[in-house]
Every structure is written in structure tokens, then in C-alpha cells.
Structure 1
Amino acid sequence: MVTSDLLPASARWHIAAGRAWPLGASPVPGGVNFAFHANGARAAWLVLMDAVDGTIVAELPFPEGGRFGTLFTATVRRLDTDRFHYGYRVAYTSGGLSPVLLDPYATELTGAGEWGQRPRYRSAVAPTDFDWGDDRPPRIPHGDLIIYETHVRGYTRHASAAVTSPGTYAGLREKIPYLRELGVNCVELLPVFEFDETDNTFVSPATGKPLRNFWGYNSVGFFAPKAGYASRTGQGDASRELKSLVKAMHAAGIAVILDVVYNHTAEGDHRGPTLSLRGLDESAYYLLDDAGRPLNLTATGNTVNCNHPVTRTLILDSLRHWATEYRVDGFRFDMAAILTRGTDGRPLSDPPLVEAIARDPALAHCVLIAEATDAAGVHQIGSFPAYGRWSEWNMRYRDAIRRFLLGRPGSAGEFATRLVGSPDLYRERGATASVNYITCHDGLTLADWTSYDHRHNEPNGEDGKDGIPDEESWNCGHEGPTDDPAVLRLRAQQARNALLLLLASHGVPMILAGDEFGRTQHGNNNTYGQDGPLGWVDWNHRVAHAGLLGFTRRAIALRHAHPVLRRTVHPDSRVAPGAPCPPVSWHGEEPWEPDWSEGSTLLAAMLHEDRDDAPADCVYLAVNAGGSERTVRLPEPPPGLRWHVFADTGSPAHQDGHEVGEEPLCGDTHWTLGAHASLLLVAGGV
């Protein structure tokens, strides 16, 4: 509609029927083309707003000749997208007008201001003239990836990060030299789609102030980068800064994966705001119950109707946008089990969206990782429809490594299966289908896993009842901080044990940012609302835990140096003709005599690979998860090689590991492993 006082303003622009594709706002010669889907609308208006303060300047009717099915299109001549933002308003055939709606395809959402300000979102057109120069994505083979999960704001917001632009894309870019030194080659960023950090109903029990939606798992737009993560607040700054970060990561040989949230949105349930999708075609974009209210299969209020053709197109277009316009190297899909649900909410054996993502040419270079669960009881770990492309966050690996290191009954055999890439889950898909991790953003940090038996979530304002109830953690004898040398020594061993096993396991390892130097959240295992020191990475721990940091760096270097640890095929115990030993062999206190009993706390494995163009690659790993010393007799290494000590987490001389190529010779046929200690030997020359 064009109100009377705006009629003169509308005359500044010439509006005509537009093109149906692409959807969204697209610059064309002399103006801008707009196209969007709105089912059940009899008319629509383009709402133009002043870019400075958001004042509505004009509401221009979409011409009738620009309607194609449920698509409304218009081309507006002489429209300066730097001066004007936009939205849509629709009149429904059932009666009534919508509020001003965001464009689902908007490449920028303005009006949020600086971080922490209540947003008044407007759609805008992000610049597309970024100079990528000679950018060359690293295209790291899947089996060689070492993923580092981090949060853009939380990684550098703490003063100890010592960056020029804390809490921003630019601040993270300043940490690239550190990432290179650590040895990781892939960074997985928690959500960077635009989200509303003020959307949290809980308050701090200590201060009474509202908590933030710090992690950002409440997408407002699927195409727009989070403006509050930019160091500057001008139009296009977030887009340019995120692209600059990706470009710089690539130049350093580091791939970038985005944690994407397509399973729900910030519109919430029937009580939530109507921002965009709900006002355009609620039944296409969301799963609804018989009463027309959103189905809540995500524990967030609504569930995206991912396999509806309209929504499927939206998600695919969004992924293509990030893969081509931002040149990211892959995606981790939050609650990906939702992507497999049909339009009736039931899981599909052959979900069109999941297959389309796997087959899409523009995404052929992308790593695809599924969190193969949702909040409504669907667990597809090992059975997520892969189509030859998808990997999974392997939660069974997480549980197995924790249970084994705590000496739980039956855990040795379970972890042995996880160590060789979980062939029980991924036999047809290969070891790299398993993304292995001990910790992630959701749960205890590694330091807290060794320091707390129970979650301590009182600061979250939910009476301490939120978060994962039981994390298979052990405080090593004291709950929380302590000065007891014996407890601290045991915690140091357990942290090193976990990292060593992770980096020696077949599959793709993922490390939580800060675990390499003992980051703590003081037992809070659900810091989604903690935008403060509790949720930020405190870089002071680099000094206090320098030994752990050095150990992690060396263990990463060890993985890079030994192809036997990065095999994409699950190793088995069959000896190939002419080979001195099988790809994997299992041992105990005596060579070739593993203990698979229910109460076993000793696991030993020799991993071997013959190579035509180089000497055989072989490592021996022994783990004593029990509370008493164990002595093992070492198996013979391949002919012509001798064992060298990379690390013994229970020995002061070897606890922090040795540099690759500088491992001291192991001069004995037996090795005594302390309680809760791990040994890793590498086979090499004299």
C-alpha cells in the first residue's frame, strides 16, 4: 500500500514487473530486482526504509504483471541500496495485513546495532565486490582434517586474548598464527548467521540482568552474516570482514566450516515474533500440528519443514550462497535429524533435502557433517542417510572414550572399536564418516571433565537443571579447584590421555577451543547464555597449562607425521601377503594377548601400514585406565625398526611428549605404565 503522505516519495522510483529468479534482492542494470514467495497472499508491497534510522519512506505495490504463481516480483529503477533498506508487506486472501517482513533471502540484516542492543531488523543488500585475489581454498583431504571448534565472539572477547578487535571476525583473524602453530587445519565456527543475542528469557541469579543467547542457535536469516561480530557497524562491514577472515584462513592453509542452524528459527512457537517465514507461508516453512501450531521437535518452539519443496529450495540456496559467495569449505548441521523429517514430521529413509545437499554441484567441495540427532528422540548415529558424502558427529565415540578412561565395565572393547574408526557404525562409509570428539561447545570442557563429577549450572538461571545431566566425568578426587598435588597430577594425566587417544584414533578428530590449555567453565556444561568470562576463552591459561599446550601441539604434529593414524579405511587384523603384521593388532600385558573381559582396564594396539614409497609406518598405543600400575611386554616392531617413545602421560620424563623425529629410543622390552596413564611408541630407525 502507498499511504497518502508517501505518494510523492513513491514517484521517485519506477517499479515494473521483475524476474522470478533469483529470489531475494538482486542488483540489475539501473536498479534492483525483488522476488519472493508468499502463499496465500492476494497482494504485496515493497517497503523502503531510510538506511540511517529505519524510517519507512515508501510502500510500493508489486505489479500484478509480476506475479508468477506464488512469486511476487518487481524491478525498481534508480534505487540506491546504500541509502535504502527494505522489507515486504503482504495482504492475505483470508483477510488482514502482515507486519513488515524480512526477506528470507536478504544477504544482510541491519538494525541490530552493536552487540547486545535489541535489534530492529531491516533487510539490506550486502556488497558483492569483495576482492578474493588469488584465494585458494586448501581442499584438505577428509582424512587429514583436524577440526578446531570455536565461537567467534568467545574466542577473543576476553582481555587476555590481546587482540585489537576483541570478539569479532577481525579478532579471530589475529589468532591465525596461533592456530598454525598449534597445527589445526580446519576451524569450525559456531553459528554466524544473523541471530538475536538478546533473545533469552532467563536472567542472571547473581545480578538480575538478562542473559544473552550467546551461542547463536536461533537463526533470524539464512543468508546474512552476524553483524554484531564485525568490528565496524557500517553496511556491508560484516560481509567484508567475514570474507576477509575466510580468505586469511585459506592463505594459512586452514579450512573454514560453519555450524549452520536450519532446523528451527528465532520465530519460536505461536507466541513468538512474526519476522519473516511465518508471515509468508507458515505451513511451507514450519511443521504444524493439527491445530495449526508449530510442532516443537527441537526444544526451541518450532521445527523447520525442511523437505517441503519451497523450504528445501531455500536451504539449498542458502548453502550455495555460503559456499560460493563466502567460499567456506563445509558445514556442520545442528540437529541434522530434522533434515530427514518429511512434511508430516516423520523421519524419511530417503530424505530429498539430505540427498540434494550431497548431490549439489556447488557443494561438491564441501565437508558435510551431521549432528545426527534431534530433541524428539531421533538418533541416527551410524544410520544418517549419507549418499556417499555425509560424516557425523560421533557421540558414541565421545561416550566411549570417557567411559574407558574412567575404567567403566565393558569399556575397553567398546573403545577399541571407536579407536579404529567405528566400523560397527560406518563399515560401508569408511573411518572418516566418524568425527571424533571428547568435548564440544555443548557440555563440559576437557579441564572440567577432569575436575567435576556434577554440572554446576546455577549461573544460567534455570535452577541448575539445564544441560546434560551426566557427562561420565570424574573430579579425580576433589570437586572443583584444588591445590592438592596428587589430584592435579591425575587431572593432567587424564587430559593428556584423552587428547592422545583422540589424535591417535581413526576418523576426523575435533578439539574444542581452549581444551589445549586447560580452559575451564567452572563446571558449567551449558554456557549458551554466558556472554562473560565464564563463556569466553581465558588465554591466561596458556601460561598455567603450558605443558598441556605443548603436549597438544606435539600430538597434532604426530598425527600429521604418521599416515597410519589417518587411514580412511577401517584397519582389520588380517595379515596381507608379505606383510610382517596386520593393519591393527591387539595386545595386553603380553603381546597378542588382549584382555576383552568385562572388567578390563588395559587396552593396547599396534597400528601398522606398509607403504611402497617409504618405510612401514607403525605406532604402538597402550592405555592403563585402572588405578594400579601395569607392566606390558612390547610387541616386536616391523623388521629393521625399533620403538621410540613419543609420550607416557604418567612419566615426568615423557608426560609432555617429544617433538616428531626427536623421540628417544625405547631401550627395554617391557614398560611399566602408571595408574591412569597412556603410552605411545613410534617405530623408527636406530
Structure 2
Amino acid sequence: MAPPIPADKKLGTLQKSVPKVRVGKGKPLPYGCSQAKKGLNFSILAPDSQAVWFVLEVPSGQEGITYAGEKGKFLQLELQPAAHRTGNTWHIQVVTTFSVEGLRYGWHVDPEELGRDGRPTEKPVLDPCSRCLSSGGVAAWNRRGEGIKYAPWSVVPDFRAVDCFDWQGVTSPGYALQELVIYEAHVRSFTRNKDSGVSKPGTFLGFLEKIPHLLNLGINCVELLPITEFDETVVPLKHPGTGEDLCQYWGYQTCAYFVPMQRFAAGPESWAAIVEFKTLVRELHRHGIEVILDVVFNHTGEGAWGINNWNCLAKVAVEHYYLMSNGYHTNYTGCGNTVNANNPNCSEWILECLRYWALDMHVDGFRFDLASSLTRGSDGQCMPEPPFIKRLVQDPCMKDVKLIAEPWDCAWPDGYLVGQFPSCGEPRWAEWNGKFRDTVRGFIKGDPGLKGMMATRICGSPDLYEADDRAPFHSINFITAHDGFTLRDLVSYNKKNNHVNNEESGEDNNVSWNCAQEGQDGPSNNPEVMKLRDRQMRNMLMALFLSAGTPMVTSGDEYGRSQGGNNNTWCQDELNWFSWSDCAKESEAFCRFFRLTIGLRKQHRDMFERTGFMTH
């Protein structure tokens, strides 16, 4: 077998055995796979690397090498530092006479496993900036079985489809933060139920068919749970009753940060998710609804549950992309492998990703999961002015993008930053206000000593946001979110009921009340209990919508959706689904109250959309 093929800096034919491929030096930017004047440019940010190979699949009939367990043949190109490295970036231009759309590619970065011929033998790593993956569409959701595993490759997209998308002149509504009524939703959950009546259930296209429902409620912003590629099959847990495979449902184990979730797409092509997500954003914007993405840069899904069918950042530059301690991953997130966000190279990668979603995909903002982890330095301590946060708020491309922090991580107490998330001189960061949630829950269920604190929360939480020149609207007020009890379960359960997860998880202190006696959790046929529960739900909605600050509601709360007391449905599929039949039953009852309360808030914008605190 021949040695690895060196990629010359000049654009020339490789050798007679590969007559249809020419290579050139390439350019360091943009990262990932992009169109060049001729052919394609591939670039990867791989600091400290000494040896890099580029790998490209070749069509059937072409000569190439094979990888164990992988179908197809591949071309390996050994890059030369003098020609193909600029700073910390490696790059190459590839020109072919055959179509490359849909072909797989990857990188070897300082490969550890070499054959006797000098070739890397292990599977290439994913491109950290790839836009498409070979992981299957909606039909592949949670697919298990003999010989089936989640082991994606990066894929060359059809640039004619993804870069020439017709936005039809539609632009973002451009609301101010204080004007928003945010609706937190999961793309699959929203329309996967057969009673949704949509043509493409559980997908981006299915979601857009329900825009009239959002408009009817008065929603003008959706905050989507993670829609970047994740492996739902990674969870080894099974339902204790049925034996069915559970799944990593919510999506907080990201595999590829530039890739819209393939199983949320209806089309079969690897790039269908890009086109369909853009279609969803365009149609939401057309109807006056903004889009915020829940993004997970505090940790990744790489190596989750000890499964290594694919690799990415850890094989590119582990010390740059992950926060390490004595050679081991740190865990400030409760999920392992904390991201080293304040490393300059990691910051560059995160910012490039955010720019892509804001500029190319037209999203309006980001909610940063466990954002306190993004403030930690190399010693693991939270910094008052984290370099990443400073770069983000000063980035000219991000000037009009909304930034929302979940201002805590799992390393308490120093990681609890509600009211203290670093602004780095720019009062732009809004925060999920967990203190608003806990105060309202406690006050309405009758906990003593909360009158003064309740008044403070209604007035926009000046104790938290006034000192650093922020405003009431920087408080994202919420009663419920995806993690925790639904609004219905909050008034129906004193204790969590998570046995179907087949593992111990979920918060024990929920500040909930079942409106009945101890031991009477769950559904009730007692008219008085049912009446009280309904009133308590309405009380909490009134407190939410008639407080200064930016309100956020959770999908399903408009009709009183229950999860059977499960306050951590991260691994459940059907239990998370929106029931459109139940919603229809409540259309003239609780849904109507929900809608009218939002309407009341909008009728008195001067009071509830204040830019100054009520204490003034």
C-alpha cells in the first residue's frame, strides 16, 4: 500500500491513481467546509498540532483506503505545515471533477494509531465547524438494534441549497427585550403527537404549522430547547415498566454545534435540516415571532456515558477546548467535560458558531445553558470579567443579538450568579431569574415571610439588577421551565415522581403544593381540590404576566399539561409531548385565561415593559 499522499501547496494533480482530484494550499478562514473560487476549502482550528491529515470520501470506483467498520473508500491527504498551516489553523483546497455533495470527510490531528505504512488507521474526527452530518433524518430517531450505532461523519453540503436559501425579504421583527413574551418549546415535543394533525410531525416543518396557536396566545418569541445535533441513543437506561429504551431527549449533549438536529428534519438529505430550519425561522419572523436558541457551550456530548463512536474536540486539542485538571476533565456542570470557554482558541470557536447562527441562520438570540461555567478560568474559578464574555459583548456581529444567561452551574455556591452575571461593561445580559420563580411559588402556596420579597420581584427585582445599570427587563421571569414540574404538576405534587427514569435525578426542593393532604399527590376527583389547583395556577400566571420583567412560559402550561409528577423528563420521549386534544378541551377555559392575561399585559405596556424600576 502506498504511503500517505502529501498535499502540495500548488494546485496540482495528486498522482495517476487519483486523476480526478487536485489540491491547493487553501485558506484559514472560514473554518469548516466552504466554497472556494475553485472547488472547496477545508479549515480546522487545531492549536499545538504537529501532524494533520485531511480525509475525503471518493465515489464508487475510485481508488482509496478503507476504515474498519466503515463503508466506502477515502482519500487521505497529509498536510504540509509550510503550506497548509496558518497560525493555529490548518487548511486545504480540494478541486474535483466529480460531485462532492453528500460525500463524507474528516480530519486526523496528531493521530495516535498509525499503520505500518504510516497511514492513520482510526476513524477521523468530526470537523468542529461542519454544517452537515451523516446521522440520519427523522425516521432514525432513537433507532437501536444489531449493528446500529450513532457514528456520524462530517458531510459536504449542497451549497446551492444552503447558501442560496430564499429569505423572501423577510427579516426579524426586531423587538426590544422588554417587549417579548417568551415561549420555551422543544421542536419534537411540540408536534410529535399524532393529534397534532401536522404533515411532518416532530420536525422543524411541523413546528411552523402551529404558528397560529402561538399567535392566538399572544406569543412573540420562541426559545427552542437545543436544536443542534445530539445523539439521543447514547442513554443506556430502559423504562422500568415496559423495558423500552429511554433516550437523551432534551438535547443537552451536543455533538456538532453548527449542525441543526438531523432527526428534526423531514427531508432525507444531510443538509435538509439547514433548509428546513431556515424555513421555520423565516416563517416565524414573517408572523412577528422571534427565535432564541438554547445553546450548550458549558460541556459537550463527546464521550458521554463512556461511548466513543465519534470524536471531535478532544482529539483536536483537548487542553484548549476542555477545562482540564491534572490530565482529567473537570465537572462544573454535572455532565462532565466542562468546556474551556475562556481559552482564546475555544472562545474563537464558540464565537464563530454564534456568528453562524445569528448571521447565516437569522436567529435573534441565545440562552446559554449553565452559563456560570462560561465564566470559569483555567483554575476553575469564576472570573469577574471573563475574556469570552468580554469578546462576546464587544463583537460587532453580535451587537443586536439577545443574550440570556442561565446564571448558575452545578458548582455551588460560587457558581450561583443570579443578579451577578458578569456584564464586562456592557449591560446586555438578561438572566433566568430563579429567585423570581422560587419567591412566587412560595408566596402563592402560602409560605410565611415572603410579602416584601414578593413585592420586590413584582417590581422587577431591583435588588438584583439595579446596581450594574441593568433594567427590569433583564430579569427573565418564569414559574416553570423544561426542567422541573410543569405548572399543573406544581399544584398537584408535593414530591417528584421520577421512577420511570430508572435513575435518581431531579430537584427535591420544588416549592410545590398538591393543594390536598400529604400522600394525595397526582390527579384528583375532589371538586374542591380541583378548584383550588386551578385557582393556584391562575394566581401564578397573574404574578408572572403582571410583574415587571420579561416573562417566559413553558410549552404545554397553557392547557395544564402534566408529566405525572416527573420533574426531570430529560430521558423521556412521549411524556414530553404536547397534547393538542387536551389543549382543544381547554380552549375556552384555561387557555383562554392564559391568552387574556397576556393580552392584559400588552394593554398596559407602560407599566410592565418599563426600562426603569418601579421603586423610582
TM-score (norm 2): 0.89
- Greater RCO structure (CA 8 Å; 6+ sep): 2
Cross-structure match for 2:608 = 565
For 1:440, give the aligned amino acid: A
How much has 1:235 moved relative to structure 2?
2.7
How much has 1:215 moved relative to structure 2?
0.3
Deviations 1:343-392 (A, max 9, x none): 22211110011121112111111110000001111100000012211000
Cross-structure match for 1:527 = 569
Cross-structure match for 2:10 = none
Among candidates 483, 503, 511, match of residue 442 of structure 1 = 483
Looking at structure 1, the residues matched to 112 and 558 of structure 2 have their Cα atoms a distance apart, in angstroms, of: 58
Q: How does 1:228-627 map to 2 (within 5 A)?
A: 228-268=263-303, 271-273=306-308, 275-290=311-326, 292-377=327-412, 378-386=415-423, 387-427=426-466, 428-462=469-503, 465-477=504-516, 478-532=520-574, 534-546=575-587, 547-563=589-605, 564-572=607-615
Kindly indicate whether residue 37 of structure 2 is the aligned counterpart of residue 20 of structure 1.
Answer: no
Looking at structure 1, the residues matched to 360 and 330 of structure 2 have their Cα atoms a distance apart, in angstroms, of: 33
How much has 1:89 moved relative to structure 2?
1.3
How much has 1:2 moved relative to structure 2?
6.5
Q: How does 1:36-75 map to 2 (within 5 A)?
A: 36-49=44-57, 55-64=72-81, 65-75=83-93
Kindly indicate whether residue 133 of structure 2 is the aligned counterpart of residue 109 of structure 1.
Answer: yes
For 1:69, give the aligned amino acid: G
For 1:278, give the aligned amino acid: A
Cross-structure match for 1:202 = 237
Cross-structure match for 2:65 = none
**1:122–1:418: structure 2 CA closer, same or farther, 3 Å change rule?**
same
Looking at structure 2, the residues matched to 196 and 307 of structure 1 have their Cα atoms a distance apart, in angstroms, of: 26
How much has 1:188 moved relative to structure 2?
0.3
The farther-off stretch of 317-326 and 348-357 is: 348-357
Looking at structure 2, the residues matched to 224 and 416 of structure 1 have their Cα atoms a distance apart, in angstroms, of: 44
CA contact (8 A) 2:366 2:404 kept: yes
For 1:116, give the aligned amino acid: N
**1:3–1:150: structure 2 CA closer, same or farther, 3 Å change rule?**
farther
Deviations 1:6-29 (A, max 9, x none): 976644211121111111111112
Looking at structure 2, the residues matched to 520 and 28 of structure 1 have their Cα atoms a distance apart, in angstroms, of: 52
Looking at structure 2, the residues matched to 432 and 231 of structure 1 have their Cα atoms a distance apart, in angstroms, of: 37
For 2:439, give the aligned amino acid: A
The farther-off stretch of 373-382 and 7-16 is: 7-16
Q: Secondary structure at the match of 1:516?
A: coil
For 2:359, give the aligned amino acid: T
Looking at structure 1, the residues matched to 556 and 547 of structure 2 have their Cα atoms a distance apart, in angstroms, of: 21
Deviations 1:580-631 (A, max 9, x none): xxxxxxxxxxxxxxxxxxxxxxxxxxxxxxxxxxxxxxxxxxxxxxxxxxxx
Deviations 1:192-233 (A, max 9, x none): 111101111321111223210000000111111101001112
**What is the CA RMSD across the aligned residues, in angstroms?**
2.1
Unaligned runs of 5+ in 2: 6-13, 61-69, 144-148
For 2:613, give the aligned amino acid: H
**1:459–1:15: structure 2 CA closer, same or farther, 3 Å change rule?**
same
**1:208–1:239: structure 2 CA closer, same or farther, 3 Å change rule?**
same
Q: How does 1:131-170 map to 2 (within 5 A)?
A: 131-170=166-205
Looking at structure 1, the residues matched to 524 and 15 of structure 2 have their Cα atoms a distance apart, in angstroms, of: 72
Count of residue pairs the alignment pairs up: 569
Kindly indicate whether residue 221 of structure 2 is the aligned counterpart of residue 186 of structure 1.
Answer: yes
Cross-structure match for 2:9 = none
Among candidates 118, 122, 132, match of residue 153 of structure 2 = 122
Looking at structure 2, the residues matched to 537 and 446 of structure 1 have their Cα atoms a distance apart, in angstroms, of: 14
Looking at structure 2, the residues matched to 92 and 168 of structure 1 have their Cα atoms a distance apart, in angstroms, of: 38
Looking at structure 1, the residues matched to 305 and 381 of structure 2 have their Cα atoms a distance apart, in angstroms, of: 21
CA contact (8 A) 1:16 1:63 kept: no
Q: Secondary structure at the match of 1:537?
A: coil
For 1:566, give the aligned amino acid: E
CA contact (8 A) 1:450 1:475 kept: yes
Looking at structure 2, the residues matched to 106 and 13 of structure 1 have their Cα atoms a distance apart, in angstroms, of: 21
CA contact (8 A) 2:329 2:338 kept: yes
How much has 1:93 moved relative to structure 2?
8.7
How much has 1:57 moved relative to structure 2?
2.5
Deviations 1:13-68 (A, max 9, x none): 11121111111111112211111122443322211126898523211222441122
How much has 1:544 moved relative to structure 2?
3.5
CA contact (8 A) 1:335 1:374 kept: yes
Looking at structure 1, the residues matched to 359 and 533 of structure 2 have their Cα atoms a distance apart, in angstroms, of: 44
CA contact (8 A) 1:19 1:73 kept: yes
How much has 1:425 moved relative to structure 2?
0.2
Structure number with bigger Rg: 1
CA contact (8 A) 1:106 1:223 kept: yes
For 1:85, give the aligned amino acid: R
CA contact (8 A) 1:17 1:63 kept: no
CA contact (8 A) 1:441 1:512 kept: yes
How much has 1:299 moved relative to structure 2?
1.2
The farther-off stretch of 64-73 and 474-483 is: 64-73
Looking at structure 2, the residues matched to 44 and 87 of structure 1 have their Cα atoms a distance apart, in angstroms, of: 11
**1:208–1:270: structure 2 CA closer, same or farther, 3 Å change rule?**
closer
Looking at structure 1, the residues matched to 537 and 59 of structure 2 have their Cα atoms a distance apart, in angstroms, of: 51
Looking at structure 2, the residues matched to 180 and 138 of structure 1 have their Cα atoms a distance apart, in angstroms, of: 14
For 2:347, give the aligned amino acid: R
CA contact (8 A) 2:102 2:270 kept: no
Q: Secondary structure at the match of 2:28?
A: coil
Looking at structure 2, the residues matched to 70 and 499 of structure 1 have their Cα atoms a distance apart, in angstroms, of: 51
**1:69–1:270: structure 2 CA closer, same or farther, 3 Å change rule?**
farther
Q: Secondary structure at the match of 2:367?
A: strand
Looking at structure 1, the residues matched to 572 and 305 of structure 2 have their Cα atoms a distance apart, in angstroms, of: 27
The farther-off stretch of 408-417 and 542-551 is: 542-551
For 2:153, give the aligned amino acid: R
How much has 1:271 moved relative to structure 2?
4.1
**1:9–1:552: structure 2 CA closer, same or farther, 3 Å change rule?**
farther
Kindly indicate whether residue 116 of structure 2 is the aligned counterpart of residue 81 of structure 1.
Answer: no
Cross-structure match for 2:64 = none
CA contact (8 A) 2:330 2:336 kept: yes
Matched-pair identity in %: 40
Q: Secondary structure at the match of 1:47?
A: strand
Deviations 1:482-537 (A, max 9, x none): 111111100110111111110001000000001010111010000011011x1111
How much has 1:139 moved relative to structure 2?
0.5
For 1:316, give the aligned amino acid: L
Looking at structure 1, the residues matched to 361 and 42 of structure 2 have their Cα atoms a distance apart, in angstroms, of: 22
For 2:94, give the aligned amino acid: V
